[in-house]
Amino acid sequence: MATVTSSNFFSVFLSSRLGNSRRCFFQPNSLPILRQTFAEKVRASSTAFVETKPTEPIVVDKEVRTSKNVLACPICYQPMTWIGDSVLSVDSAAGSSLQCNTCKKTYSGQETHFDLTAASGTKGYGESMPPATEFFRIPLISFLYERGWRQNFVLGGFPGPEKEFELMKDYLKPVLGGNIIDASCGSGLFARIFAKSGLFSLVVALDYSENMLKQCYEFVKQEQNFPKENLILARADISRLPFVSSSIDAVHAGAAIHCWPSPSTGVAEISRVLRPGGVFVGTTYILDGPFNLIPFSRLLRQSMMQISGSYAFLAEEEIEDLCRACGLVDFKCIRNSRFVMFTATKPN
């Protein structure tokens, strides 16, 4: 693992971008310095993107998939028929429904989203997920998420949504023009950026929290001239994705894998729905450095998980291992402090 200082950061960053190798940025300094240095770094990296734009126009694959036929029944994973408005948009969920061609279960669109969880349509039955999932269903948490909460991620090294999008575009280049799922989208900060970028034929904003999806819907509604076409809001569990196998070009999961009840089931599902050559990009906090020196830290973490039912942060090699175990290849990552952006691809 290479150590990159702020003085040689820019050249290493550019050369690693060109060489597509793993990028690791270390910030051992105090917090105020860390924030300042990283701000400089990110500016440097985004400048690099801006500078390459005129000479490297983004070429979008013209062969656009039929937007609606990627949706599958979460019970039997078979394709569903869209009944309703022929124009796909955020607004067309209300008044539309989806029917499974095989088991015939119908999923009625709600005002803000489709509920594509297995339990959708139950009347008296209720179940609760582990704390890290249930927490984000609380209306106040969903409300606060983009109103100050997410901004604090910068303290852990997250560069912020716009810069994160700039960084991930590099990884997403091979699948631009295709469809993308923003898995565990929260209030849809990235799903909205994806939709506005015009770089994807379909954007699915997916989260288990109905309140996060409601926030996403409100943000979309508030923004003038938002391109609502080809954006769907879907409530679903990451462990049971409502998409046809091998139908998805890209999956993004921002700051999410550490919140999933079972990261392995989530990544396995992502691998199932990605088409050959499809790309998975995720971000999370990394658990390493001094944490890994604690004797039996991994064992301790696993025991804590068994008790709490929620997962904790992973080490970089654990994420790589997990992607490989779930059939994804070509793992790469970029690091800053505890922030990591990683990518892996479904083999062709």
Ligand X SMILES: C[S@@+](CC[C@H](N)C(=O)[O-])C[C@H]1O[C@@H](n2cnc3c(N)ncnc32)[C@H](O)[C@@H]1O
Residue 107, helix vs strand vs coil: strand
Binding part of the chain for ligand X, among 45-53, 254-262, 273-281, 286-294 by CB under 6 A, reads 254-262
CA angle 232, 234, 237 (to 5 degrees): 150
The strands making up 274-285's β-sheet, listed across from edge to edge, are 114-115, 231-235, 202-207, 179-183, 248-253, 274-285, 339-345, 329-336
Q: What is the dihedral of CA 267, 241, 190, 192, to 10 degrees?
A: 170
Residues 220-239 that bind ligand X (CB under 6 A): 237-238
Inter-residue long-range contacts of 76-85, CB under 8 Å, 24+ positions, other chains counted: 76/100, 76/102, 76/103, 77/244, 77/245, 78/102, 78/103, 78/244, 79/244, 80/107, 84/109
Contact flags string 92-131 toward ligand X, x per CB under 6 A: -------------------------------------x--
Check residue 154 for interaction with ligand X (CB under 6 A).
Answer: no
CB of 172 to ligand X, least distance (A): 15
- Tokens encoding 119: 């339990």
Binding part of the chain for ligand X, among 21-29, 66-74, 202-210, 332-340 by CB under 6 A, reads 202-210
When binding is defined by CB under 6 A, the residue of 208, 217, 243, 331 that contacts ligand X is 208
Binding-site size for ligand X (CB under 6 A) equals 21
CB of 255 to ligand X, least distance (A): 4
Check residue 339 for interaction with ligand X (CB under 6 A).
Answer: no
When binding is defined by CB under 6 A, the residue of 100, 185, 232, 279 that contacts ligand X is 185
Binding part of the chain for ligand X, among 42-50, 201-209, 269-277, 306-314 by CB under 6 A, reads 201-209
When binding is defined by CB under 6 A, the residue of 261, 263, 278, 282 that contacts ligand X is 261
CB of 239 to ligand X, least distance (A): 6
Check residue 184 for interaction with ligand X (CB under 6 A).
Answer: yes
- Quick count: other Cβ atoms within 10 Å of Cβ 88? 20
Binding part of the chain for ligand X, among 31-39, 64-72, 249-257, 319-327 by CB under 6 A, reads 249-257
When binding is defined by CB under 6 A, the residue of 248, 255, 281, 334 that contacts ligand X is 255
Alpha carbon 188 to chain centroid, angstroms: 10
SS3 content of the chain, % helix, strand, coil (to 5): 40, 20, 40
Burial class (CB in 10 A: 0-12, 13-18, 19+), 176: buried
CB of 128 to ligand X, least distance (A): 11
Check residue 209 for interaction with ligand X (CB under 6 A).
Answer: yes
